[in-house]
Structure 1
């Protein structure tokens, strides 16, 4: 490994530095364990088929604003640790591996020798319960993609250990600190996956498409056309796709027609009334005026409270 550390001038410089690298935050996509990014989506971004967004989403903004709070809480939760928090967006990169990382913080602790990295995360109580708690043991378990992120950060910075500190925000605020084992098998698997990812990208190929997750990305990648014709008569799967699409469109038209009839029947029963109560439902149908000035009735149906004894 040959790792460099570059201090960017500002956020724009930092984003530009990251373009040619698989960064720690999305490295789990190469191991099929990332909940928000697939290998195909990562390929679409890194190959230039899609433009990487520079916008800060809600989760990123929450993390940025709460990170100093998390640092202070960690200092209080682990008073024997020395937290080296710089907030300078230092980017550690290996040009050969095309891997990069921006650790949140470094730290030293009395029970383990050497410098470590601490990765800060924020979570709502509900998301923490759903994604961080093992349903059987009820113990805190770091999501695999976050563990992969910590391992990449540790390896690229030469850290001796890694930990994740998650700030759980809800009716109160608490912090969980979890050590991340630096499994050599995970690192080796990631190196192999990264090498293959960049190899196929360079020869103009792409990772397998996960059709349950990649549909919208495929549509974005293939939104532009050329004035040419191709022969797909030998590919029977395309005939199947076309047949299924036409069947789906027919069913959608039938369902839309059925929905229109049901809307009309409900509004006929309500007349000009905005609200109606049935044995099972409360129906709300107010008139709304669209941006173009046209008026229409919106229909909302709510199941009545079953605890009221009416069922």
Structure 2
């Protein structure tokens, strides 16, 4: 594969206009910026185990969601607005890899004329708080530092379009301490991919989804587990009750705080904000419909959905074959 050094440590391996299937195949041959937060075990959407399974070729290639497709369509628009607001020209560059760590990849959205990288994000209004008060979303921070690690550049920018109507721009300096942590964690995981050794399973939803995809159908057989697993399953029965108690305690504290706040949207201690209570939660469709029935009727749509009850009655075997697997500890067996 022809490569060209286009940044201090970044080799171009695929041009920006490479066919998408070719880009997806190349992406599996290393760890990219979108994997960085998950490799650290900090992503709410992915996990180290999921990244390992993807790079090991164990999971099917996911089709783009509508959110992802719109993100790509809006990328040049956001880049143009970034240029207009900052006066810094940008250009697309394609897929890079580190000159020495050939498994470390960077699909940088843009390189900037002032010697940096630009990461472009489109995010929901529900995630707006990630960018409040000059903050930078964790995923964007990890992704940018990963790109700086690959390219050898000293700074970058994040441009995030929030809710389709608000653009936030952040400047980020290279953080060699964080880069060192990232490189070590990524190198460790990539070695696991090479060795075929799975990382430890965690309790994330992403790991649960990965396991469900790897083992979608339950075979009529038994597997013997060790004493340590049984001990942990027994302990988990007690944890479930403790979790319920802790949730009640947490909710009581939250209610006490909101009761003190009343109609205020920020609580402070010694003048420093310690909590917020703002109108940024779920939309109350029922209350809105009751208050504004005519407007609600105007925006009410009919949604087609599969009648699963009828399907189950007519085709029980097909229905059973497409049910997800559910894990349940056996209280009777564990307490025997």
TM-score by length of 1: 0.66
Q: Which residues of structure 1 form unaligned runs of 5+?
A: 110-114, 134-138, 249-287, 295-311
2:91 alignment partner in structure 1: 85
Structure 1 CA distance for aligned equivalents of residues 179 and 235 of structure 2: 44
> 17-26 or 223-232: which moved more?
223-232
Larger radius of gyration: 1
1:25-52 Cα offsets, whole Å, 9 max, x none, are 1111111222211001111111122223
Q: Write 1 or 2 for the structure with the bigger share of helix.
A: 2
Structure 1 CA distance for aligned equivalents of residues 101 and 220 of structure 2: 39
- Corresponding residue pairs, total: 235
2:76 alignment partner in structure 1: 68
Pairwise CA distance, 1:192: 0.9
Change (3 A) 1:243 1:71: closer
> Aligned ranges for residues 67-146 of structure 1 at < 5 Å?
67-79=75-87, 81=88, 83-86=89-92, 90-94=94-98, 96-109=101-114, 115-129=115-129, 131-133=130-132, 139-146=133-140
Change (3 A) 1:2 1:104: closer
2:13 alignment partner, one of 6, 20, 28: 6
Change (3 A) 1:44 1:106: same
Q: Write 1 or 2 for the structure with the bigger share of strand.
A: 1
1:237 alignment partner in structure 2: 229
Pairwise CA distance, 1:99: 1.1
Q: Does 1:168 align with 2:162?
A: yes
Q: Is the 8 A contact 1:168 1:175 kept in 2?
A: yes
Q: Does 1:216 align with 2:222?
A: no
Q: Is the 8 A contact 1:97 1:194 kept in 2?
A: no
> Aligned ranges for residues 1-311 of structure 1 at < 5 Å?
3-8=10-15, 9-53=18-62, 55-79=63-87, 81=88, 83-86=89-92, 90-94=94-98, 96-109=101-114, 115-129=115-129, 131-133=130-132, 139-170=133-164, 173-213=165-205, 214-223=207-216, 231-232=224-225, 234-238=226-230, 241=233, 290=307, 292=310
Q: Is the 8 A contact 2:34 2:143 kept in 1?
A: yes
RMSD of equivalent CA atoms: 3.3
Structure 1 CA distance for aligned equivalents of residues 141 and 153 of structure 2: 14
Q: Which residues of structure 2 form unaligned runs of 5+?
A: 1-7, 241-304, 314-336
